[in-house]
C-alpha cells in the first residue's frame, strides 16, 4: 500500500534538491515537479519556507532553473572559516573577505550589471582579472584616502588593512607542477574561485593554460543578497564613481514596484 506523502515531505525533497548545486530541474523530473508545485501552490510555498527556516536555510529564489538557498549565520549548512582553511589568522580572514568581494565586483562592476536579465550568460573571468581588479581598487582607495563617504570608520580601517596585506603578497608564484603557490595572490584567488565552482556558483571553462570561470544564475542571486552590504557598496564606489547613483536608482525602482 502506497503511503500518501504530506507537503512537509515534499518540501524536504525540494530543499534536498536545492542542496545539490549541480542538479537541474530540466534533467530531473521529480525536481521539476516539485518546482512547479512551489510555483503553483501558495500553501506549499509557505511550508517550504518554514521547513527551510527550521534548517537554518533561506529560500532566495525559485524558478524553472531550480530552488536557490542561502544560509543563516547559525546554520549547520553555512561554511565556517575553519572548513576553508586551517589555522586561520586575522590577515587570512581579511584576505578571504577581500577576494570574495573582489570576485563579485569583477563579474558585476556596476549595479546595472547585477540587475541585468539573469538568463543572459555572463562572460567568464580569470584569476588575472580578479587580481587586476584588486590592485586597481587598492590604488583607487589610496588616492581617495580621507575623501571616503564611509560613515563607519572601523570598516574603512579594515578595508585599508586588507589592501596592505594583499599588496604584500607576491602576485604570481608557481610550483614545479605549474599550479599557483597558495601563498601568492593568484593562488588565493584560484582557491576561492574553485570553492565557488564547487558550490555551483561558477562553471570552469577551458582545460589548457589558465582556466576561466563563468558565473551561474546561483552566483548572481547570491551576490544580489551581498549587494545590500556596506562593504560591497564601497567596492562599487571605488570601481565606478557613479555606482551610488545606480544603487539609488535601483532602490527607487524597488520602492516604486513595492507600492504599485
Q: What are 175-184's pLDDT values in tens digits?
A: 454 555 566 7
pLDDT beyond 70 at 255: no
Quick: pLDDT tens for 199-244: 889 999 876 557 899 999 889 888 887 666 666 676 667 666 554 4
Q: For residue 43, what is its C-alpha cell? A: 500553501
Q: What is the pLDDT of residue 28?
A: 96
Q: For residue 16, what is its C-alpha cell? A: 534536498
Which range in 34-48, 114-128, 159-173, 177-191 is most confidently predicted, on average pLDDT? 34-48
Closest CA to 71 of 9, 15, 7, 8: 15
Whole-number average pLDDT of the chain: 76
Q: What is the pLDDT of residue 253?
A: 40
Alpha-carbon span 45 to 7, nearest angstrom: 10
Alpha-carbon span 91 to 211, nearest angstrom: 27
Amino acid at each position: 500500500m502506497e503511503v500518501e506523502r504530506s507537503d512537509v515531505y515534499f518540501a524536504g525533497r525540494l530543499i534536498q534538491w536545492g542542496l545539490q548545486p549541480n542538479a537541474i530541474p530540466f534533467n530531473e523530473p521529480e525536481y521539476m515537479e516539485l518546482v512547479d508545485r512551489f510555483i503553483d501552490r501558495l500553501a506549499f510555498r509557505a511550508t517550504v519556507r518554514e521547513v527551510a527556516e527550521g534548517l537554518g536555510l533561506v529560500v532566495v529564489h525559485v524558478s524553472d532553473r531550480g530552488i536557490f538557498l542561502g544560509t543563516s549565520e547559525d546554520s549547520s549548512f553555512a561554511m565556517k572559516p575553519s572548513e576553508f582553511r586551517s589555522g586561520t589568522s586575522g590577515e587570512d580572514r581579511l584576505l578571504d573577505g577581500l577576494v570574495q568581494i573582489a570576485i563579485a565586483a569583477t563579474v558585476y562592476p556596476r549595479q546595472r550589471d547585477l540587475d541585468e536579465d539573469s538568463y543572459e550568460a555572463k562572460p567568464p573571468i580569470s584569476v588575472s582579472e580578479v587580481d587586476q581588479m584588486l590592485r586597481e581598487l587598492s590604488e583607487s582607495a589610496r588616492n581617495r584616502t580621507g575623501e571616503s563617504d564611509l560613515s563607519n570608520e572601523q570598516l574603512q580601517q579594515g578595508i585599508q588593512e586588507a589592501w596592505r596585506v594583499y599588496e604584500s603578497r607576491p602576485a604570481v608564484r608557481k610550483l614545479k607542477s605549474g599550479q599557483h603557490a597558495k601563498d601568492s595572490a593568484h593562488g588565493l584567488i584560484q582557491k576561492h574561485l574553485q570553492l565557488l565552482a564547487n558550490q555551483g556558483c561558477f562553471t570552469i571553462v577551458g582545460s589548457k593554460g589558465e582556466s576561466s570561470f563563468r558565473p551561474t544564475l546561483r552566483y548572481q542571486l547570491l551576490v544580489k543578497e551581498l549587494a545590500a552590504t556596506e562593504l560591497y557598496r564601497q567596492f562599487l564606489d571605488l570601481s565606478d564613481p557613479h555606482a551610488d547613483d545606480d544603487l539609488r536608482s535601483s532602490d527607487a525602482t524597488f520602492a516604486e514596484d513595492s507600492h504599485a
